[in-house]
Amino acid sequence: MIFTISIYLLLLLLLTLFSYLNIIKGTTLTTLKLVIVIVSLFIGAFILGKKMNKKGWLEGIKFGIIILIVLNIINLIFYHHYNIGSIIYNLILLFTTTLGSMIGITKNRKTS
């Protein structure tokens, strides 16, 4: 989990720097925010899957649910709303962690 947060913060720092320098703006910035979250969660779940011996999908779902609980608490504290877009966003993140963990466990089995 620490590795995932570190990757996320590093990529977010780079995105903020590019935004500040007006290299990236508009819809590209919004899209890259989503891509950064997806990539960091995928890498974190992939590493988690490599450490597991079986049921990568279950570990990915557990990891995704933990992340979603934290993100939803933050969302409700700061934004005070929840809509269909948030539900779709959460499903995308849950799918990403599940897929990352499944691929990680597959790579673990091939190297063993």
Domain boundaries, the chain: 2-111
| Band (65; pLDDT cuts 50, 70, 90) | very high
CB of 99 within 8 A of CB of 60? Answer: yes
pLDDT of residue 77: 86
Element of type H or E holding 83: none
Calculate mean pLDDT across residues 39-62.
86
What's the whole-model pTM score? Answer: 0.81
Calculate mean pLDDT across residues 43-67.
86
DSSP for 11-62, written as a single string: HHHHHHHHHHTTSS-THHHHHHHHHHHHHHHHHHHHHHHHH-SS-HHHHHHH
Residue 111 has pLDDT above 70, yes or no: no
| Band (5; pLDDT cuts 50, 70, 90) | confident
